[in-house]
Structure 1
Amino acid sequence: MQVHSFTLEDVRNAMDYTLLKPIASKEDITKFCHETIQYDFKTIFVNPYYVEHAYALVKDHGIKVGVPIGFSLGGATTSTKVQETKEAIKNGAVEIDMLINLGALKSKEFSVVQQDISEVVKASNGLLTKVIIETALLSQEEKITACQLIVEAGADFVKTATGFNGGGATLEDVQLLRETVGPSIGVKAAGGIRTFENAVKMLQAGANRLGTSGAVEIITGNLSTSSY
């Protein structure tokens, strides 16, 4: 089987550059936004509190602001996630990455899980929605079930992980998610992607998007011990 090769531009365009550390200051966010402009990244993700600030800094540069919803545990009520989504959109967010209700999934309350997703999709009002499933915390069967619920709920992407709850993107999980959702739904690999080579492998395994706090290092090839 021929393996598709990906250029530096392909990787740059697929990356969602993230700064989601709970102790990130406004100064950190400002520096992060300036880096995004400097390296021509297309999408950034910041916590809800910083959406308005980040949007003000990047809106004139064709850069999209995304926001995590129900981050980083997923246990918020659906109404809370919906309100968080609406407020983030009001503040400038145009991509929504919500965390699945892991407790409900583990409890086999599948209708609850699906409804939770579909209400956030509805609140997103046509904006791109991705659903984080935390693959490291799920069995193979649960990963497949989660993907099926995401498709049924009308979301646009399934995403591997937050990077905050142990484990991250693996090639095996990306391949499984792609096989489960088919070609019509996006797959976002996130968690632990720190090198250009690893980023390319994720894309070759079936990912459309890459979530990473190490986007600058990936593009420049300069690995750093610091992490956003």
Structure 2
Amino acid sequence: MEISRNIDYTLLKATSTERDIIDFCHEAITNNFYAVCLNSCYVALAKQLLKNTDIKIATVVGFPLGAMSTEAKIFEAKKAIDDGADEIETVINLGLLKSHNYVSVLRDLNDLKLAIGDTPLKVIIEISELSKNEIVKACEICTDANVDYVKTSSGFSKRGATLTAIKIIKKTLKNKAKIQASGSINNSEIALKYLETGVHRISYEAKMKKTKSARKFV
């Protein structure tokens, strides 16, 4: 298995500079990653840097809290797509989910999905903040909203993916959406374990260093 083609190379730090993004995209090319994931202000730059490759560009909206208005998320998503984004990620509204206001959570995701059309929508459910029953409910809402991926974590919470959570997510989704594992996956051996459980994509966080050559994923 060519693991690199299941990897989303991710750089979402608020302090990331234009130079970091240039190096980051160069590393993505070197490693033949499937996609990069970055903040929306850098989508246009990434589009230019990756124009002669088949590497996809994913970006985040309503991030990292997911508590913004639906209208704000839609506006941000449409602007990102205009700038060249191939995929949109958002965080599920955890407050509304925990309030048992499932109708509003569903409406938020459904309206966003309808607004972006055929562009894939990934929904981060932030498993570290949810009980087992809440993970199940979040996944059920995601399938009802016809999202394309359920992603475990944003990288901005307590912890990332766990194999236990992946099993719960997979059982609930019943192949109605794909799964992306994110957080605490920093080498190919760990990535392979998740892929063997049925995960479709892996988020691998960039650790930008002041080096002259691009790092290889190992």
Q: Report runs of 4+ in structure 1 exceeding 4 Å deviation.
A: 214-217
Q: 2:74 aligns with which of 77, 82, 98?
A: 82
Residue 193 of structure 2 corresponds to 201
Q: 1:211, CA displacement in angstroms?
A: 1.1
Amino acid at match of 1:76: M
Q: 1:68, CA displacement in angstroms?
A: 1.0
Counterparts of 1:70 and 1:59 in 2: how far apart (Å)?
Answer: 26
Q: Secondary structure at the match of 1:60?
A: coil
Q: 2:53 aligns with which of 47, 61, 66?
A: 61
Residue 31 of structure 2 corresponds to 39
Report how many residues are paired: 212
Q: CA RMSD in A?
A: 1.4
Indicate whether 1:170 and 2:154 are aligned. no
Q: 1:214, CA displacement in angstroms?
A: 4.7
Contact 1:117–1:150 (8 Å) recurs in 2: yes
Q: Secondary structure at the match of 1:67?
A: strand
Contact 1:147–1:180 (8 Å) recurs in 2: yes
Residue 185 of structure 1 corresponds to 177
Q: 1:92 aligns with which of 84, 97, 104?
A: 84
Q: 1:203, CA displacement in angstroms?
A: 1.0
Counterparts of 2:57 and 2:154 in 1: how far apart (Å)?
Answer: 17
Which stretches in structure 2 are left out of the alignment for 5+ residues?
A: 208-213
Q: 1:206, CA displacement in angstroms?
A: 2.0
Q: 1:184, CA displacement in angstroms?
A: 3.1
Contact 2:187–2:217 (8 Å) recurs in 1: no
Residue 104 of structure 1 corresponds to 96
Amino acid at match of 2:133: E
Amino acid at match of 1:18: T
Contact 2:43–2:80 (8 Å) recurs in 1: yes
TM-score by length of 1: 0.90
Which stretches in structure 1 are left out of the alignment for 5+ residues?
A: 1-6, 222-228
Contact 1:194–1:214 (8 Å) recurs in 2: no
Residue 210 of structure 2 corresponds to none
Cα deviations by residue, 1:85-115 (Å, 9 ceiling, x for unpaired) = 1000000001011111111001111011001
TM-score by length of 2: 0.94
Amino acid at match of 1:132: I
Identical-pair percentage: 37
Amino acid at match of 1:80: A
Contact 1:193–1:214 (8 Å) recurs in 2: no
Amino acid at match of 1:77: S
Cα deviations by residue, 1:62-93 (Å, 9 ceiling, x for unpaired) = 11111011111111110000101100000000
Question: What are the residue-to-residue correspondences of 1:150-169 with 2, within 5 Å?
Answer: 150-169=142-161
Contact 2:123–2:149 (8 Å) recurs in 1: yes
Amino acid at match of 2:43: V
Counterparts of 2:33 and 2:148 in 1: how far apart (Å)?
Answer: 21
Q: 1:220, CA displacement in angstroms?
A: 3.8
